[in-house]
Structure 1
Amino acid sequence: MAGTFTLRVVSPEGNVLKEEAEFVVLPGGNGEIGILPNHAPLISSIGIGVIRYTVNGKVQKIATSGGFVEVSDNKVTVLADTAEPGEKVDLDRALAAKERAEKRLTQREGIDIRRAELALLRALARINATQNQ
């Protein structure tokens, strides 16, 4: 297909996605990374956030909690710590996790603050993956 590349997302649970995509945006460590067909070779870490990709003009989302991306030969391979397609996210559970993390962060005593911050970021990524563009 002209104007596309193979996007593959893999997590420890197995293959999450294999599609011919037109565009992908990844949550990089220092900002978002946008990839179009015929992108230059690249290896980078990715952070907690949402992978947005376009297939047949429709934007779809996957929540991720980090990992790595490799771009080579018109293939984008994401090795994610976790990867959850937006349509599979349990929104009530994600909202409850967000509330728990926010509550912990307001208390600030007797908790691991960094762990609570990361839990909040993961919950927000899962919530954002369910939202339409």
Structure 2
Amino acid sequence: MQLTKLKIITPDGVYIDDLEVEYANVKTSDGQITVYANHTSIVSTLLIGDMKYEIDGAKKYIHLHRGIIRVSKDQIKILTQRLYEVDEKGQRIKK
């Protein structure tokens, strides 16, 4: 499977910097979308909700507090005000 790079930026700095993922799934103002490598370029607003991404078969979840997603051929870039890691049930993971 071809990988794409995930970058997540908050006002505090870069949270994830070009991590190679299999896909990312986010909740946009137009509905839920899943982005794979070589996806059509898009820009959309993100709603409050959990995103999911996969690395080496392991699913990871992050709660996003709105934002913007920009997808290009080889990168998914997310700008968000706030975020925190959650489990598959949406429960916050304490760090």
Which bracket does the TM-score occupy, shorter chain normalised? 0.7 to 0.9
Task: Give the AA of the match of 2:83.
Answer: A
- Alpha-carbon distance, 1:130 to partner: 4.1
- Alpha-carbon distance, 1:129 to partner: 5.0
Deviations 1:8-41 (A, max 9, x none): 1111111111310001100111321110110010
Task: Give the AA of the match of 2:57.
Answer: G
Residue 55 of structure 2: aligned partner: 55
Q: 1:12 to 1:129 in 2, by over 3 A?
A: farther
Query: 1:10 touches 1:79 (CA, 8 Å); kept in 2?
Result: yes
Query: 1:61 touches 1:129 (CA, 8 Å); kept in 2?
Result: no
Deviations 1:55-111 (A, max 9, x none): 111100111110000011310000012121227xxxxxxxxxxxxxxxxxxxxxxxx
Task: Give every structure 1 segment of 4 or more consecutive aligned residues whose post-TM-superposition deviation is greater than 6 Å.
Answer: none
> Which structure is higher in helix share?
1
Larger Rg: 1
How many residue pairs end up in the alignment?
A: 91
RMSD: 1.9
Residue 16 of structure 1: aligned partner: 15
State the structure with bigger RCO (CA 8 A, min sep 6), 1 or 2.
2
Task: Give the AA of the match of 2:69.
Answer: V
Query: 1:4 touches 1:23 (CA, 8 Å); kept in 2?
Result: yes
Distance in structure 2 (CA, Å) of the matches to 1:130 and 1:57? 21
> Which structure is higher in strand share?
2
Percent of pairs with identical residues: 21
Can you give the 5+ residue segments of structure 2 that lack an aligned partner in the other structure? Answer: none
Residue 101 of structure 1: aligned partner: none
Can you give the 5+ residue segments of structure 1 that lack an aligned partner in the other structure? Answer: 88-126
Residue 77 of structure 1: aligned partner: 77
